[in-house]
Structure 1
Amino acid sequence: MTEPIPIFVADDPRLADYVALREVSLRKSLEAAEGLFIAEGEKVIRRAVEAGYRPRSFLLAERWLASLRDVLDRCPDTPVYLVSEELAEQVTGFHVHRGALASLHRRPPRPVEDLLTCRRLVIMEDIVDHTNVGAILRNAAGLGWDGALLAPRAADPLYRRSIKVSMGAVFSLPWARLADWSGAPALLADAGFTTVALTLADDAVPLDEVHDQLAPEARVAIMLGTEGAGLSDHWTRSASIRAIIPMQAGIDSLNVAAAAAITCYALRA
């Protein structure tokens, strides 16, 4: 392990990767420009490094040195910045209760074509909430789905909050970003997928009936829409099947991450 470097002031330029982690617009521009992302917490840092992501630096409270020593030993040339938890809060803009952060290099984007050979895909249209994106990726990975595709305007899976909520599933579940929103349904159909749109449309089929309709060898892509308006009319009309989760008590829909979990379970291979 490299010798930890104590830092005592919040404006030390070596901590620039960690500034204002809650300011989404600032972080989007900074992380895109620098090609980095932030992992928070021992488990998530460990999973990122084990998945092959190359760290730029570590920002740690002293109490985390021992438990992360094996990870730090794997990265002997990576600086380890040692700070108090109060200083970490000044730099990041929130209480880093897990006491451990790492800045890591992003990889080149995965080609969409790599995902089109899968059997089970989750497709996110304009889901803009990072928590929902992270939860959907965690659900898909945990329920045995093969990967995810995100429309151009969907939230970044490598934003700190997405990673944290996914519990590192973003590092293990293959995902890619679609370049063409309009052509996505046709792209999936041409690749041999049965596309299942989750929607409140009048002709939507109850989800359990969809399961019964699918052939055992079917390749399935479920399409999930944005948090407010749901799936767009274009994607809804273009789907092979329109599906609905039957609801009660006057409630018409669920949070998109919850709906994704139910659908991934119901339509798993």
Structure 2
Amino acid sequence: MAELITVDDPDDPRLYDYTGLTDVALRRRREPAEGLFIAEGEKVIKRAVRAGYPMRSMLLSAKWVEVMRDVATDAPVYVVSPELAEQVTGYHVHRGALASMGRKPLPTVAETVEGHPPRRIAVFEDLVDHANVGAAFRNAAALGVDAVLLTPRCADPLYRRAVKVSMGAVFQLPWTRLESWPGDAEILRSAGFLVAALCLSDRAITLDELVSRKAEKLALVFGTEGDGLTRGALAAADEHVSIPMEAGVDSLNVAAASAVVFYATRP
């Protein structure tokens, strides 16, 4: 491990990466612009390192130093009291370990869907809740989805809350952002994907019907919380697909729906 640096001043500029972590609007602007994200907890930090994300620094309480000793070799390690960590971050860091990680350049859409040809990809349109994004990524990784595409307005999967909920699954799957949606649906179609929009629609087939078609390549499109998919996305899709519901329930939370669909369409 790099040299341990004890810090007792919450205004120490070396802790700048960790300031105001509860200010969502601020962090959403800062982190992509500065090329960083925050990983929290032993498992998530180690998964980020294994996935090749460069570490900028770590912020640890004393009892976590030994646990994390094998993770940081060159990056500075700031050791602080739990009280000081809360002053800096804005919340009680009960997991005791934070790491500021550098982002990697995103691949192009073509590289994501053609470089190592996937059979199933997920497209998340304008999901704004970071917990839903993290949960959907975790579902995708657990159920064998090959890649994830995000529309331009979709929440950042490397935001701390999304990373935490995904338990680091955001580091396991190839993902990138679409540049022009729903126009980029044509890239998927040209690559041989059947574009299936999960929605409530008069023309929708059931999920079972979609599975029975045994499409070689599937692009499964999920819409934003509440409103669902946009008209443009629905128009761009090859098929509209619904999950049959009972007991007067019309739909599932988008993360729950993704788990059902990923499981049902697994090869």
Q: Which of 75, 79, 104 is the matching residue for 1:78?
A: 75
Measure how far apart 1:3 and its partner are: 2.1
Query: Residues of 2 paired with 1:241 and 1:20: CA distance?
Result: 44
Point out the more displaced range, 232-241 or 129-138: 232-241
Query: Residues of 1 paired with 2:266 and 2:196: CA distance?
Result: 13
Partner of 1:265: 263
Point out the more displaced range, 183-192 or 51-60: 183-192
Identity in percent:
57
Q: Which of 91, 94, 102 is the matching residue for 2:91?
A: 94
Query: Residues of 2 paired with 1:9 and 1:121: CA distance?
Result: 46
Query: Residues of 2 paired with 1:214 and 1:140: CA distance?
Result: 19
- Residues 1:115 and 2:112 are matched in the alignment: yes
Measure how far apart 1:9 and its partner are: 1.7
- Residues 1:42 and 2:42 are matched in the alignment: yes
Partner of 1:232: 230
Instruction: For 1:205-224, list aligned pairs within 5 A.
Output: 205-215=205-215, 218-224=216-222
Structure 1 residue ranges (4+ consecutive) displaced by more than 4 angstroms after TM superposition: none
Partner of 1:203: 203
Measure how far apart 1:184 and its partner are: 2.1
Amino acid aligned to 2:64: W
Return 5+ residue gaps in structure 1 as ranges: none
Amino acid aligned to 1:98: R
Query: Residues of 1 paired with 2:32 and 2:8: CA distance?
Result: 28
Query: Residues of 2 paired with 1:103 and 1:245: CA distance?
Result: 40
Query: Residues of 1 paired with 2:113 and 2:3: CA distance?
Result: 45
Return 5+ residue gaps in structure 2 as ranges: none
Measure how far apart 1:127 and its partner are: 0.6
Deviations 1:97-146 (A, max 9, x none): 10100001111122111221311100011111111111111101100110
Instruction: For 1:170-189, list aligned pairs within 5 A.
Output: 170-189=170-189
Query: Residues of 2 paired with 1:63 and 1:257: CA distance?
Result: 35
Query: Residues of 2 paired with 1:110 and 1:87: CA distance?
Result: 38
Q: Secondary structure at the match of 1:154?
A: coil
Query: Residues of 2 paired with 1:156 and 1:2: CA distance?
Result: 30
Partner of 2:55: 55
Query: Residues of 1 paired with 2:33 and 2:79: CA distance?
Result: 25
Deviations 1:239-263 (A, max 9, x none): 1111101111111111000000100
Measure how far apart 1:34 and its partner are: 1.6
Amino acid aligned to 1:101: L
Partner of 1:104: 101
Amino acid aligned to 2:95: R
> Root-mean-square deviation (CA), in Å?
1.0
Partner of 2:254: 256
State the aligned residue count. 264
Q: Secondary structure at the match of 1:116?
A: helix
Deviations 1:195-236 (A, max 9, x none): 111000011111112101224xx1001000000110111111
